[in-house]
Structures are given as C-alpha cells and as structure tokens.
Structure 1
Amino acid sequence: MTLPTAFAETTRFSMSSAEMRIRVLNLYRRYLRHSRNFVNNYDLDVPASQVKTKIRQEFERQRFVNDLAVQNVLYMKAQMEFQELVNFWKQQCHVMMYFEPFSSYDNTANDSFIDKFLKGAS
C-alpha cells in the first residue's frame, strides 16, 4: 500500500542551475526505478524498457530550457506527475497517451467527414 504523502514534495524553488540539475537527476532516477511498477500497476502493453525510453524522451524534450523559473515549474509538474503515477491516481488510458505519436492528435486535416465522425471529432 502506498501512502499518498510518501512521495509528496514540498514546493520549493531552486536558486541555482546546479541545484536544479541535482534535483532533476534525482527525479529522473526515481522515475526509472519505478518504471517496472508503472508497467505492472497500470497493466501496460509495453515493456519496462520502452517506458524507460519514453521517460528519457520526456526529460530530453525539456533539456535545453535555460530559464530557471521555467525549469522550476517544469520540475514541479514532473514531480506532481510522478506522485500521481506512483499513487495510482491515473487510469491506464491516461498513461497510454504518452505512447501515442503526436501526429495522431492532429490528423483530422486530411480525413473525410465520415472518418472525423467515427473518430468523434467535430
């Protein structure tokens, strides 16, 4: 059983890039350590190695953000996401959305009316 406050973290801002780097690396390691639990808890159809790859991609996507205030916000969002995942506050469909290609979100431009209707798009 997981206590909801077990992975909670108080909101605090990093005052230097070095401090932020340490916090981000620690959060990244926590994500990787729990990747197998994510697969098991959410009954995902993907192997843990693919989950680890996706975690890496999500962290790499924000790698070149240089503004410390933006880094702090991104860190807090990632921390909240981690707590929601670990405490099983999400459903499987929410977790699987990370594994959908971004092109599938806006593929309605070339679809016919029937295709859009069947997909539920307006």
Structure 2
Amino acid sequence: MCEVGYKVVRPLMSKDCKEARRRAIGLYRAFYRYIPYIIKYFDIEKNEQDCRWKLREYFYRNACITDVRIIDLLVIKGYIELKEITSSWQQKSHVIRHWNPTIEPKRYDFIGKFMAGMD
C-alpha cells in the first residue's frame, strides 16, 4: 500500500497569506516612494508614470502566486533589489534593462534563419 506523506516546512518569514500580502504591499510602497529618486539619480529618460506602470506590471505578473514561501522569497529578492538601487550598487544600465529586453526572439522562418547564420 502506498502512503502519502507530507513534509512540514518552516515558513521563511510570513506565517500566513495575510502576513505575506502585507509584506508584498510594503515592498510595493517602498519602491513607489523611491521612484522619483531613481529617476533623478540614475538620470533615466522615463517619467514617474512610466516607472509606476513598470512597477505595477512586475507586481501583477506575480499576483497569481499563492504559496507563502514563494511570496516570501520574491519579497526578499525585491528588498535586495531595492537595497542595491538605494545604495548605488546598481548602475543606470541595470535600471534601464527593465524597459529594454536584450533577448531577441528566435527566427523560425527560412529567411530569418538564413540571415542569422543558423541551419
């Protein structure tokens, strides 16, 4: 007979979804407040509205996640990113990369593959 066992895991920071949500909203507010300084110190060609839309896009991308441990992990990574920006450990190119993807899509047609030097 096959028995199903569950492993009890310890939470990273939050004990339940409510606390994890509160931490995520705190991260959102911290980034939201720092947007004018990012624009000023990194001298990026975006206005506050563009930066706020990009921030909202990142948070909406992960809105469907319900596992508390994954939410905590993403919040920790977000605070690390904010610390790197506020301490000037990141430079302008690190901030601008959020608007300019460097990954080019693969070509699937014959001419595109031929021009790219692929088989």
Q: Taking structure 2 as the reference length, what is the TM-score of the superposition? A: 0.78
| 2:7 equivalent in structure 1 | none
Residue 107 of structure 1 deviates from its aligned partner by 2.3
Distance 2:20 2:73 in 1: 11
Mapping for residues 1-122 of structure 1, pairs under 5 Å: 13-101=13-101, 105-109=103-107, 110=112, 112-113=115-116
Three-state SS of the structure 1 residue aligned to 2:29 is helix
> C-alpha deviations, 1:23-76, integer Å up to 9, x for none?
111110110111010011111011111011101111111111011111111110
Q: Taking structure 1 as the reference length, what is the TM-score of the superposition? A: 0.76
Distance 1:68 1:106 in 2: 34
Three-state SS of the structure 1 residue aligned to 2:40 is helix
Structure 1 runs (4+) deviating above 6 angstroms are none
Q: Return 5+ residue gaps in structure 2 as ranges.
A: 1-11
Identity %: 23
> C-alpha deviations, 1:61-109, integer Å up to 9, x for none?
11110111111111100110011111111011111110125xx513242
Distance 1:59 1:35 in 2: 15
Q: How many residues align?
A: 102
Distance 2:26 2:36 in 1: 17
Distance 1:90 1:74 in 2: 19
Distance 1:51 1:29 in 2: 13
Distance 2:13 2:104 in 1: 35
Three-state SS of the structure 1 residue aligned to 2:97 is helix
Quote the RMSD (CA, aligned, Å): 1.9
| Counterpart amino acid of residue 113 in structure 1 | A
Residue 19 of structure 1 deviates from its aligned partner by 0.6
